[in-house]
Amino acid sequence: MMSEISEYETPFPHRKGTIFKFHYFTNWVKGDKNVPEHMSWIRNLYNYMTPYVSKFPRGAYVNYRDFDLGINKKGNTSVHQASVWGVKYFKDNFKRLVEVKTKVDPGNFFRHEQSIPPLLKR
């Protein structure tokens, strides 16, 4: 059913051709012990999967936020900086969503670590 709606009609672009969504996750119970080991393990898994996932850009599902893609800086993050994760989450819809954000929330009140920033006024 999802493939019957164009990826440009809604912010969520992942439609036809998307077979799987992978959520890379690791959990450990020893608190902060062995953090480098666990981070290395999950990054190695992520890199191992590279030949099997979308490319140009590598896609990402917005509800599986990946802070390794980048995060908003305190203050104002440029649209160019946010496009690093925004294009992965929203594909070509990112530019349109920036325009909407600029009109609806120019002061960027509604934000989180990887939210879409408004265009900055010059």
Catalytic residue list: 64
Q: Is the distance from CB of 92 to CB of 8 less than 8 angstroms? A: yes
For residue 122 the two structure tokens come to 């010059």
For residue 3 the two structure tokens come to 């493939």
For residue 92 the two structure tokens come to 């070509």
Angstrom distance (rounded) from CA 31 to CA 33: 6
- How does DSSP assign 28-88, residue by residue? -SSTTTTHHHHHHHHHHHHHHTGGGS--SSPP--TTS--GGG--PPSS---HHHHHHHHHH
